[in-house]
Amino acid sequence: MITKIDHIAIAVQNLESALETFRNVIGCAGEAIRIEEVASEKVRVAFITVGETKIELLEPLSDESPIAKFIAKNGDGMHHIALQTDDINKETERLESLNIKPLSLPKEGAGGKKIMFLHPKETNKVLIEFAQKKH
C-alpha cells in the first residue's frame, strides 16, 4: 500500500551549490539535511526534510551514473517522484498484474531503503520510484 510521497528528486551537477539554493528557498537548518553516497547508483545525495517528505538532490559521481546521463540529456532538474510503500514486493506484484513493468527488481537505495523504479513510458513521462523503509 502506498502511504505517502517519500521524496521528490532533483538531478544537479553541483550538490553544494544546489544545497545552498534549496536551504535558502526552504529556510531550513543544517540538521534537516542528510548527505550520503549511493555506490550502486554512482551518486551523492542530499535529503532535505520538509514536513513529512523530503527533497532529494542527486549529484553524479561518474559519467556512467544514470544521473550524469540524465543531466547530459536534460540539464539540472526534476528527476523523479518517490512513493513510500509498506511492502515493495507486494506493490511490484500488483503493478505487474496490471501490465506495468518495473525497470528492475527491488534493490537497496539511499538510507538502506528498498527501491524500485517504473519507466516514464509507463507513467505519463514521470519516473516513479517506490521506496520501502528498512525494517
- pLDDT digit string (tens) for the chain, length 135 residues: 999 999 999 999 999 999 999 999 998 877 789 999 998 889 999 999 998 999 999 999 999 999 999 999 999 999 999 999 999 999 999 999 999 999 988 999 988 899 999 999 999 999 999 999 987
Structural domain includes residue 26: yes
Q: Measuring CA to CA, which residue among 105, 115, 107 is closest to residue 81?
A: 115
Structural domain includes residue 2: no
User: Terminus-to-terminus CA distance in the chain, angstroms?
Assistant: 16
**Inter-CA distances, 38 with 46, 56, 59, 123, 135, Å:** 11, 12, 10, 25, 19
Burial class (CB in 10 A: 0-12, 13-18, 19+), 9: buried
Structural domain includes residue 17: yes
CB neighbours of 60 closer than 8 A, spacing ≥ 6?
11, 13, 42, 43, 67, 68, 71
The whole-angstrom separation of Cα 68 and Cα 72 is 6
Which triple of cell numbers denotes residue 75? 540539464
Structural domain includes residue 119: yes
The β-bridge partners of 41 are none
Structural domain includes residue 91: yes
The β-bridge partners of 81 are 8, 128
Structural domain includes residue 28: yes
Number of domains, the chain = 1
**pTM for the whole structure:** 0.90
Q: What is the CATH number of the domain that holds 13?
A: 3.10.180.10
Q: Which domain holds residue 25?
A: 7-132
Name the strand (E) or helix (H) holding 90. helix 88-97
Structural domain includes residue 1: no
For 19-40, write each residue's pLDDT tens digit: 999 999 998 877 789 999 998 8
